[in-house]
Structure formats: structure tokens, C-alpha cells
Structure 1
Amino acid sequence: LLALSPANHVWLKSHDHNQLRLTRAIRSLYLLGNEQIATNLCDFLVAAARETGLVSDKTVEYRRNALKG
């Protein structure tokens, strides 16, 4: 399971276009009525960001805001 460790995720970078894509995925899931899946994805991504410290606080804020109606 070492490969599943957040330390091995290539998308965990402070300046990576994938950060925007992931936030858009959260927002899309939420708007399409999949609030629980959006929340779970957001929680996972925020936890991974905090564990590694590689994702900016601003990105975390954007993700949390993506869960608002």
C-alpha cells in the first residue's frame, strides 16, 4: 500500500494545473446532485494536502468553497 501513500501522488504539488481540475470535479459533482461524493473527495484531497503540506491554503479554500450552493 506504499504506492497509495499521498507522498507518492504526483498531483500533490503547490502549482499544478491538476489542482484546478480536481476543484472543478468537486464543484461539478456537487452541482450534479452528488453532494456526498463531492464532500468525500474534498475531504480526501484536503487531508492529503495537509499531510504533505504541498498544496496551498488558497487551494484548500477553493475546494471548500466548491461545496457551497
Structure 2
Amino acid sequence: MKSGPLHAYLAGAGPDGRNRSIDEVLAFSDEKLEQVHDYVQWLFPLPTRSSAQPSAPVLTLDEIGGIRADEKAQVNLRRAAERMLAFYGATQWWLASSDHNHLRITRILQSLRLLAGQERAQKFYDVILERHRAAGSPISPHNLRYWAAAMNPQPPGDR
């Protein structure tokens, strides 16, 4: 048995809050990924409440451990990161000074770092920054600092 709804979802063994499987969400068109706002909290969960989707579940310590140890959940996290990189590679919407996708990217980086490790998060970060640079660096330095902070683990005393 999976340790909770987020673990079950990422392992492909349970639905999200709208009864969608992870495969259904990963098959969304780019337009649907842009328009729908309640999937990213399931694909890239965190142990903190989402201000954008306050009814989304919050990761528990048991789920963090379960997801880290579950190969199927890890495969699906990789698939989710690849799908979002394809989305950010194919679209221009987010290449602006400020955009709601910048918050999504911060969440993705934090979640990948927590659940899949620093290396996986770093790969995502590097691709996003390269896309930003290739587009003429349109994203505000303020938003870029959030991404940089998401990539830097806090010292143990600051948690």
C-alpha cells in the first residue's frame, strides 16, 4: 500500500483530486497545461500548503520517504519533469518578466530537489535557465532569485 494519496498518484496507483491518473495529466496538450491550474500540486507536491490551490494535499514525512524509495514514483517524477520541460521548450507564454508559470517552476524545483534529488532538480533548472537566456533573458531578476533559492538547500538550523 502506498503511504498516502500523493504517493499513490505518483506511483500510478491512484487518482488526483479530480479523479485523473498521472498518465492522463501527462498527456495534456500544452494549451491544457497552461489553462488548468490544479495539476502541478499533484505532479510536484510539497510539504507546505499551496496558496494557489489550498485544497491540494500536502506531503507528509511518510509520503516523502515512500516516494523517494518507490521506483515507479521516481519514474513518474522523471516523466513529469520531462513533460514540463517539453511544455516550457515549446511555449512562449512564460517568457515574460512575470508569469504564473514562474511560481510553477519554483514548485517543480523544490519538489524535484526534495523527492528526486539535487541532480534531477539541477538538470531541470539548467534547461529552464538556458531557455530564458535563449529568449533574451526576459524573466525578472526577482523571479530568477526564487529559482536560485529553490536550488539551494537551507542550512540545518534554518529549517
CA deviations 1:17-53 (Å, max 9, x no partner) are 1111111110111012421111011111112112222
Segments of 4+ moved more than 6 angstroms: none
C-alpha separation in 2, matches of 1:66 and 1:45: 13
Larger Rg: 2
- Where does residue 25 of structure 1 map in the other structure? 108
What one-letter code is carried by the residue in structure 2 that aligns with 1:22? Answer: I
Q: Does the residue aligned with 1:66 lie in a helix, a strand or coil?
A: helix
Share of identical aligned residues, percent? 32
Q: Does the residue aligned with 1:15 lie in a helix, a strand or coil?
A: coil
TM-score normalised by the chain length of structure 1: 0.75
- From the superposition, tell whether residues 13 and 7 of structure 1 become closer, same or farther in structure 2 (CA, over 3 Å): farther
Name structure 2 gaps, 5 residues minimum: 1-86, 154-159
Q: Which has the higher helix share?
A: 1
TM-score normalised by the chain length of structure 2: 0.36
- From the superposition, tell whether residues 8 and 25 of structure 1 become closer, same or farther in structure 2 (CA, over 3 Å): closer
Name structure 1 gaps, 5 residues minimum: none
1:1-69, aligned counterparts within 5 Å? Answer: 8-52=91-135, 53-69=137-153
C-alpha separation in 2, matches of 1:54 and 1:28: 25
C-alpha separation in 2, matches of 1:64 and 1:24: 12
C-alpha separation in 1, matches of 2:106 and 2:116: 16
- Where does residue 55 of structure 2 map in the other structure? none
C-alpha separation in 1, matches of 2:152 and 2:105: 16
Residue 7 of structure 1: how far off its partner (Å): 8.3
